[in-house]
Amino acid sequence: MPLHDHPRTAVVIEDDDDVRDLIHTVLTGSGFRVHTAPAGLAGVEMVRRLAPDVVTLDVGLPDIDGFEVAARIRRFSSTFIVILTARTDPADEQRGIEAGADRYLRKPFRPAELRAHIQEGVVTARA
Question: Looking at residue 126, what is its pLDDT?
Answer: 53
Question: Looking at residue 34, what is its pLDDT?
Answer: 98
The helix-helix angle for 66-74 and 40-50 (nearest 10°) equals 20
Number of Cβ within a 10 Å radius of residue 87: 18
Question: Looking at residue 2, what is its pLDDT?
Answer: 41
Domains, in order of start, for the chain: 8-120 (3.40.50.2300)
Inter-CA distances, 104 with 34, 36, 112, Å: 20, 19, 15
Question: Looking at residue 3, what is its pLDDT?
Answer: 43
The residues near 66 (Cβ < 8 Å, ≥ 6 apart) are 13, 40, 57, 58, 59, 60, 83, 85, 96
Question: Looking at residue 19, what is its pLDDT?
Answer: 95
Q: What is the mean pLDDT of the chain?
A: 91
**Is residue 1 over pLDDT 80?**
no
Mean of pLDDT values over 41-57: 98
